[in-house]
Amino acid sequence: MSRRIVGISLKMYFGHARATDWFGQVASRVSGHAAVAGGAVEVFVTPTFLQVPAAVSAFAGTRVRVGGQDVAAEAEGAFTGEVSALELAEVGAGLAEIGHAERRRLFGETDADVARKVARSLEAGIEPLICIGETARHSPADAASVAVEQLEASLAGAPDGSVIVAYEPVWAIGAPEPAGDDHVRVVAGALRSALDGRPGSAVIYGGAAKPGLLTRLGDAVDGVFLGRFAHDPDALIEVIDEAAELAYQ
């Protein structure tokens, strides 16, 4: 695994006008960024469903990928309020965020639900962004066991294809500091081993991620998944620069 990835989820923090402005600001910065333009660093953003077409339009001509923050577990049918992987692909999205801790906690999403969404995404040519993480603090070894079990359940019955695994210990989401470096190394290593049968897959870290983390972790992860820190486009570029330094080593 040699991908270098910087991802951003906007959750539901931005209205449409603010999101569109943010897309434009980020697009203007990454369009001239050699590492992004050359493909050494992959950047993706998951805005709200309503913002996906605007994001696709704003990032046209760049390598930035746009994804949905969720996806339906069914391909089509009478499922009011749902958005299918096929429709996401049709409007230009390239990935789908699946199984985030908030979806599990607030909406009761289960590993079985995640597995169905992963399968529908791969069938539609959408790369799944599978969120994995333990809810309580554990030793690195125990956390790795929980993470691998979640991942295996999420991939049950899934067709072939690469995935991005976002390791986000739930207790670190929104915390002042990320999980410890050694903790992340152990869990990320276990997740990578579990992905051996899926060439091209990647493991990134989320949960209070900020500048300096990628430099410390080096090759232990393939990138980071950012939240509110990236609301400032200049702060986002700091992390992209950091990923670029590692990509060119």
Catalytic residues: 100, 168
In our burial notation (b when 16+ CB lie closer than 10 A, e otherwise), range 114-125 reads bbbbbbbbbebe
Apex CA 181: angle with CA 177 and CA 183, to 5°? 100
Q: Which two tokens stand for residue 225?
A: 């998944």
Q: How far apart are CA 235 and CA 224, in angstroms?
A: 13
Q: How far apart are CA 137 and CA 114, in angstroms?
A: 23
Q: How far apart are CA 223 and CA 217, in angstroms?
A: 9
- Counts for the chain of helices (H) and strands (E), in that order: 10, 8
